[in-house]
């Protein structure tokens, strides 16, 4: 099966550096939802080199600055689904920058903790 991130058309790439690319998510959950992807086909964040990691973080900063300027979000979620049990559906590492806007969900408390809903709410004493 062909990797969708290894075969991206050049017009999808917003920015790039020697080791990584930034694109807007093809199925965004919010305005400005971006993906930072290493150029080398690698499945896990724990398999990238220090140089690749630094390249990804540099593009994350650039993507955040651009999204901030264009869309003025109130906050961000930053995440990686690392492995099938964590919800990874494309086996090429990608980091999500998800802009958040006040009121986009009823109660945003807990953020990424909600990947396991039964254990997410630690504050209400349920």
Q: List, run by run, the mean pLDDT of 10-residue segments along the chain (126 residues).
A: 93 98 96 98 98 98 98 97 95 97 92 81 75
Residue 126's pLDDT is 63
Residue 125 lies in a domain: no
Of residues 98, 35, 96, 108, the one with CA closest to residue 71: 98
Q: What are the catalytic residues?
A: 94
Answer whether residue 54 is part of any domain.
Answer: yes
Is the pTM of the predicted complex or chain greater than 0.85?
yes
Tell me if 79 is assigned to some domain.
Answer: yes
Which residue range is the domain that position 111 belongs to?
10-120
| Cα–Cα distance for residue pair 55/28, rounded to 1 Å | 23
């Amino acid at each position: 099966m062909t990797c969708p991130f290894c075969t991206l058309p050049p017009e999808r790439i917003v920015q790039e550096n020697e080791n990584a690319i930034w694109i807007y998510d093809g199925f965004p959950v919010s305005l400005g939802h971006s993906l930072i992807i290493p150029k080398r086909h690698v499945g896990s964040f724990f398999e990238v080199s220090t140089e690749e990691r630094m390249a990804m973080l540099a593009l994350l900063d650039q993507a955040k600055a651009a999204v901030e300027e264009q869309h003025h979000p109130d906050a961000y979620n930053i995440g990686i689904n690392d492995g099938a049990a964590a919800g990874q559906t494309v086996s090429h590492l990608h980091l999500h920058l998800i802009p958040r806007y006040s009121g986009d969900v009823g109660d945003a408390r807990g953020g990424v903790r909600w990947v396991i809903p039964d254990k997410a709410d630690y504050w209400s004493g349920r």
